[in-house]
Each structure stands twice: as structure tokens, then as C-alpha cells.
A and B are shown apart, each in its own frame.
Chain A
Amino acid sequence: MARLVVLGGGVAGHTAATFAAKWLGSAHEVVVVTPNSKWNWIPSNIWVGVGQMSKEDVTFDLAPVYEKGGITYKQAKAISIHPEGKEDSDKPYVTIEHTNKAQLGESEELEYDYLINATGPKLNFDATPGLGDGNGQLGEHTVSVCTADHAIHANHELQELIKEMKTLPEGEKKNVLIGTGHGMCTCQGAAFEYIFNIEHTLREEGVRDKANMIWISNEQFIGDFGMGAMHLDRGGYRTHSKIFTESIFAERGLSWITGAHVNKIEKGKATYENLDGTIETQEFDFAMLIPPFAGVGLKAYGKDGSDITDVLFAANGMMKVDADYTPRPFEQWSANDWPSTLQNPTYENIFAAGIAFAPPHPISQPKKSPNGTMITPTPPRTGMPSAMMGKAVANSICDMMTGKSTKPTHTAKMSEMGAACVASTGKGLFSGTAAAMTVYPVVPDYDKFPDTGRDQTLTTGEIGLSGHWVKHLLHFAFIWKAKLKPFWTIIPE
């Protein structure tokens, strides 16, 4: 009997573990290591953040689901990977530290035959002074919608703001600042959803005229979303997403600051550096700024105990896989730089999926200020690609574990897969809307598609109630799937 250990129980890890357990049955063991006791459907945290959903609507307990799926569940955080074993044993293992109440703080060595790193992002709030609290957690000056608990707090603050707005004297306004909190952030889509859901909420509460709504991000232009933007064929024209995004911003009365690296947060004030090197400030009464992501901080050690972290991980803490990491200028980037099998090049029994793998470079054109500050969106790894990666990696590993192959058999290359993204612009069964987009491929391939880098027959976008219904459908469908309810495998990633 062999053992597959999956680090992380998010979209990528949970998908990998549940499919692997289904395919392997009782012949082999699947273990999930995650510090969380609950699974979170992160796309709906936005609605928790405006009071339209509860924490219970977007989370569920993992233990009973893993028991149902025949998966060994360890509520623990991974600390280090030992891919060569130790002095008295060649068996690779990971060290974990339990986070459940009964075993809090206890360490354990967990041997593996195959390992999937699907640990997702470290929310690196402290990368921007004042955005974090100095201990790696969210600071006191802004809110977040990255987790369900953060979103609960964000909604509480939003409701307090609305109360204040209702008693504001005529002509006075509150500043609402939403966007990215560092020059190297991703997840602009989540911030986009939040600013529009707040705008929608303020209109429904009758206080929209009491708010200056301001977007701030590290994109060169709004509509980049970390994927180098996209083109849409509509109304007889092929139009860049910058135009469409500016359109909805103008329609809803939002102003925008782009090309910005937020470098300090204080009470009621964000300081940022522009692409031209100038420094400006923006005051706010309510702010949600996405933090930059990093790897969770796993270490790696050789058989002799030597630190081999840089063999397995890139400088940002994300795991190296079969990408081409050769430094090149933007003009020489290629779709072929991106990984296919997500297998670590040094240790063939280690894979990474989702946000945990190290991209070869951004998708968006990199920009640097005259001061040397990088102000460039990093590549998004959204739910659909992450789940597809998790499934592909699980499939490869199962084939390797059962002897069908000695090499990975499945691929999930971001320059050969598409994504559907539904960005809510306000919730309401008949009054809600969303920007529903498809893009193929996620990473542009200018060799295959010389004009825009993408297949324009599969790259679409429009705003409407139908998109809102799709987002609701995805919410229910993917929670159903994640809970391993009947016919869960039919729901595609």
C-alpha cells in the first residue's frame, strides 16, 4: 500500500485528494494535511463581505467529508519537506504541526510515497507596512474578504459605515477605497467584485450619494486582472477589456487609480508610489486592499539535514515545477514557459497545484518605477484552473502509484486551458448582475493566436443577470461537489 499526502484542502488540494481517493479505493492511502477544520468556497466570500451570505453559507466541516471519502484527515500545518528521508531511512516525509484542539502544537513526521503541495497562498499582509499587524495577520486599518472570517468582519465595518452615512450632513461623503495593497498583488477580480457589490449595497441602502468610491490597483490599466487583459468581439468590434472595464466604472460612478504600489497604510490613509515614481496619498473611511501572495513558508531539508529549500522552492516560497524559469525579457516570454505536468524537476514524486506552484513569470507586462519598484500584477490561479490542475496531478499520480506509468500521464498547462470567471457586480435574484467571462487560453499564446494571444471564439464577456445566476449556480454546484454528494464527479472542474 502506498501513500499520497496532499498538503492543503483548498480547491486544488481537495479536488486532488477526493479524486485520488475515488480512483485508488482502499488499495492505497490518501492523506490530507490542512490547518483548517472547514472548507471555504472562496468566491462567495464577497457576498459575506456585504452581508448577503453567512459564514455557514460558504463553509462546511472537512472531517465528515473526508471520512465519507475514505481520506485520512490531519488538521495540521505543514512545516517542512524531507524528500530524501533522513540518516537512518530513505523514506521521504513531511513534518507537520497539529492545529486541532486535542493535539495543538504536536509535531508529527508523515511519510509519503507521493506528495502534492496544494498549500495555496500565504496572505502576506505584512509586505505592506500597516496593512498587516506585524504578526502576519490583517491589520486594524483595513478589512479583507480573503477568508470567511475576514469577510464577516468586513461586513460589520461596512454596516457601521452605512449607519454613519445615513446621518451625514448634506454634501459630505465617505471615501471607500478598494483594490490591491501592494505592487505585486494578484486577485484584482476579487477586489473588482467587492467594490461593485459595495456600490450596489450602498444604492440599495439609499446612501450611494454619500460615498466617493475609489479603486486602486497595480494594473497598468483597469481590466488587466493579472492576465494581461483580454479582447472581446462585441457590437462589430474587437475591443480591449480596458474599454469595457472603464465603461462599468464610469457607469457606476467609480474613480480609479492604476499603476500603484501601496507602500504604507495608516489610519485613514494609504500611501502609494506611481509608475512614474511619484508618491501620493489617498484618504479613506473604509478600505479593502488585497494583500500580495507568497508561498506558505515550507522549508525543505536533505538527507543530511542540510537546507535544500531553494532546490524545491522559488524565492517567493512557491514550488518549482516543470516550468522554464530562465529569466527573459517580456518580449521573449512564451506560452511554452508554463508548466505542463506540475511535477517537481528534482523529485519526481512531488507535484504542486493551484497557487502553490511557482509561475515562470507574470502574464501581464512587467513594469518598474524609476525608483526600481516593481508594479506588476502577478498571475491569477483562479478556481477553475486550480481544480483542473488538482485533478490532472491526481490522475498522473494514481497512474504512477498503480504502475500504469513511470511518468506523469496528464497535463494542466495554463497556456492550454481556459477559465470561466464570473465577477459579481451586485447580488439580487432579479436585480443582480455579474460580468461573466470566458478566456482561452488563460496564458496568451501568440504563436497559436497571433492577433490577441487568445482564441476569440472562446474568449467572451458580458454583464447581466444571467452572470449572477451562473455565480449562484457555481456556489451551489461546487459546494455540492466538495461535500461529495451524489453524482459529485459529474460536476466538471
Chain B
Amino acid sequence: MLEKQANRKPYEQAYFPPVPNKFTIFMRTCVLWQLVRFVSFNLMITKLLIKSHH
């Protein structure tokens, strides 16, 4: 996340959506946590494939 959001002016477009805090951003590229998420997502895809093939 940029330190200053140039487009987050009060009441303008980008003012309203949620933006991640530093911990959330850190976890997005935390290798250990992302390894867990990688396995989890691949399991989810597998479930999806089993359900989708007819």
C-alpha cells in the first residue's frame, strides 16, 4: 500500500472501500503463510473439478 493514497480524497471515489492494514499486506507475501494458502487453494480447485465434471 502506498504511504499516501493520492486518490483517497474525502468523499471521493476511493475514500469508501476498505483498504488493508500493514499486517494484512505483510501476510500476503509471508512465505510460510502463503505456502499454507497455496495448498488450501489447490485443494479447493480439486473439489471444484470433482463437482464440475459430468
Contact = CB atoms under 8 A, between A and B. Distances in A.
A392 B52 CA distance: 11
A466 B48 contact: no
Nearest to B47: A458
A253 B41 contact: no
Contacts, number: 103
B53 A466 contact: no
B49 A253 contact: no
Please tell me the size bucket of the interface on A.
35 or more
Contacts of A469: 34, 38
Contact of B41 (A255, A256, A470): A470
Chain A facing B: main interface SS: mixed
Interface string B24-54: 0001111101110110111011111101111
Contact of B7 (A247, A250, A462, A467): A250
Nearest to B5: A253
A466 B35 contact: yes
A243 interface: yes
A418 interface: yes
Nearest to A209: B6
Contacts of B51: 418, 440, 458
Contacts of B16: 246
Given A392-B54, A420-B45, A462 B37 contact: yes
A416 B52 contact: yes
B27 A464 contact: yes
A487 interface: no
A440 B48 CA distance: 7
Given A251-B1, A469-B38, A416 B17 contact: no
A378 interface: no
Interface in A266-313: none
Contact of A247 (B19, B30, B37, B44): B19
Contact of A465 (B17, B20, B34): B34
A466 B38 contact: yes
Interface stretch (A8-16, A181-189, A429-437): A429-437
A470 B29 contact: no
A488 to B, nearest CB: 16
Given A255-B7, A458-B48, A250 B17 contact: yes
Contact of A430 (B31, B33, B52): B31
B29 A430 contact: yes
Interface of A: 208-209, 243, 246-247, 249-256, 388, 392, 410-413, 416-420, 430-431, 433, 436, 438, 440, 458, 460, 462-467, 469-470, 492-493
Given A440-B51, A492-B49, 4 more contacts: A249-B14, A416-B54, A464-B27, A469-B38
